[in-house]
Amino acid sequence: MHELSVTESILEIALRSAVGSDAIRVTRINITIGDLSSFVDDSIRFYWDLISQGTLCEGASLQLMRIPAQLVCLDCGASYTMAGELIPCPSCLSSRVNIAGGNGFRVDSIDVDVAP
């Protein structure tokens, strides 16, 4: 259910950007989602179709790009990408790691049509 509030935030950001650009329509929104976030792409798209109706964003496509988790070993300092399941540090096999990226969510860009 937290996808609804995130999708509402996306809509708010897009509408604010569109109004600030004198746009007549939002055509696409590019979003980056970390693999460690708990957001479900299909749920975001579902809510988007519902809440964007009747706004400048109606019909705009959501381009959701997933990025992998970035981890840093607390023992040897090695940085590595987590592909799939959590694995120990490939350099020293320690399981003491910090998440350095891949758990966030951001709107990267918004494409709009403006009046001629």
**Inter-axis angle of helices 2-20 and 41-51, nearest 10:** 50
pLDDT digits (tens, 9 = 90+) for 62-83: 999 999 999 999 999 999 998 7
Residue 14's domain spans which residues? 2-114
The closest alpha carbon to 6, from 53, 38, 54, belongs to 38
Q: What is the CATH number of the domain that holds 58?
A: 3.30.2320.80
Residues 6+ apart with CB under 8 A from 16: none
Q: Would you state the structure tokens that stand for residue 34, as one six-digit string?
A: 């970390």
pLDDT digits (tens, 9 = 90+) for 80-101: 998 778 889 999 999 999 999 9
Strand positions, DSSP E, 1-116 = 23-34, 61-67, 69-73, 79-82, 97-101, 105-114
Predicted confidence (pLDDT) at residue 1 exceeds the cutoff of 60: no
Indicate yes or no: pTM above 0.85. no
Strand partners, 11: none
What is the count of structural domains for the chain? Answer: 1
